[in-house]
Structure 1
Amino acid sequence: MKNQEGLRYPSIDNLLKKIDSKYKLAYTSAKRAKKIREEEYVAVTPKCSKPVGQALEEILEGKIEIDFEEN
């Protein structure tokens, strides 16, 4: 899905305001997408049809919380 500016939705810039690293974002969205496929439950009304997009929408809406350990 594209927004008015022609960029992909959800915007990476907006997602990085929720999770401070592209690597953490990829990890989190992949883990959540797997759960979405298994449980067939999404915590938001999704605009995206694929589980990874739905997971990113949940992150953007603040429905996903994850703690990363600092070494």
Structure 2
Amino acid sequence: MRQPSLDVLMDQVDSKYTLVVVTAKRARSFMEDGNSEGVNKGIKPVSLALEDIAQGKIRYERTREGIK
């Protein structure tokens, strides 16, 4: 499985920091479930998370607009 390019991923999120946080949370959810078909096939959870983000399956919401 090839990981999506950074250009495709950045179209889905607003910053690289957000990309890292969303990817980490999604990968953790794959590891906690353990019964995902991709994880069972030997594909790493981070790769699956990046693929989900690139396909637009993951949504996120920023709770604050910055430090005031």
TM-score above 0.5: yes
TM-score normalised by L of structure 1: 0.75
Gaps of 5+ in 1: 3-8
Gaps of 5+ in 2: none
In terms of Rg, which structure is larger? 2
How big is each residue's C-alpha offset from its partner over 1:36-62, in whole Å with a ceiling of 9 and x where there is no partner?
0111336xx79x811011001001111
- Give identity over the alignment, percent: 42
More RCO (CA 8 Å, sep 6+): 2
Point out the structure with the larger helix share. Answer: 2
When the two structures are aligned, how many residues end up with a matched partner? Answer: 62
Q: Which runs of 4+ in 1 moved over 3 A?
A: none
Partner of residue 30 from structure 1, selected from 24, 28, 34:
24
